[in-house]
Amino acid sequence: MSSNARRAIFWLLALVSVCATVRAQETDATYALIAYGGAGYTRNISTFDITPQGLQQNGFGGTLRIMWKPEHLLRVGIETGLTQVYHVKTVNVQTTFGVTDFTSSLNAVPILLAFSMPLTDRLEVTLRSGGYLLYSNTESFGNTVSSSTFSTGFGVGLSYMTPLDEDWGIGGEIKWYHMGKFDDDNIMLQVMVSYNFLEW
């Protein structure tokens, strides 16, 4: 893990600790299962020893998260989705076999255990830990080669949700995914919708 990643996690945990001490526990809390869905922009912020020609680090990211809201402030759940990590497209590449167009992409499916804590009634911080299924596709000379691998990783995020009624909410989230296999980092900015589908 890079020093920047460790520093970011340290300050985020410090923020959560401070906010948790000043936010009172609700005494009339209920249990609930809440689904979050979101989609938006993602930016790969990794650095490369040799930057590939035609590298595109902007892309799309989608999220699905189910959270259990117990009596206390700490919530737990699972998160998945699909994130474009990066894409490479180069035309008229000279090789020993001739000239070809070259495309390559890397996408990630997160499988993360998520822990969240409300900082205010609408602001929430989420820590994630688990792994990512990484899928790569490479095409050249009219042939496509696909491969997949598993990477451990983690993520952190901050979301702001506005209630529309008793069950639905809308807002946004900014988060960071770290994938350890190739030391990739993605920042995501998403529009989020929440639905309280079970309460007791």
Q: pLDDT tens digit string along 168-193?
A: 999 999 999 999 999 999 999 999 99
Q: Where residue 81 sits, what CATH number does that domain have?
A: 2.40.160.20
Q: What does the alpha-carbon distance between residue 10 and residue 159 come to, in Å, rounded to a whole number?
A: 19
Shortest CA distance to 125 belongs to which of 197, 43, 18, 28? 18
The structural domain count of the chain equals 1
Average pLDDT across the chain, whole number: 88
Q: Quick one: pLDDT band at residue 24, thresholds 50, 70, 90?
A: very low
Average pLDDT on 68-72 reads 85
Q: What is the DSSP letter of 25?
A: P
Contact 112, 79 (CB under 8 A): yes
Domain that holds residue 57: 3-199
Radius of gyration over every alpha carbon of the chain, rounded to an integer in angstroms? 20
Q: Percent of the chain beyond pLDDT 90?
A: 68
With H, G, I as helix, E, B as strand and everything else as coil, classify residue 52.
coil
Model pLDDT, residue 22 = 45
Is 77's pLDDT higher than 50?
A: yes
Torsion of CA 147, 182, 83, 64, to 10 degrees: 100
DSSP β-bridge partners for residue 154:
129, 178
Alpha-carbon 120 to chain mean position: 22
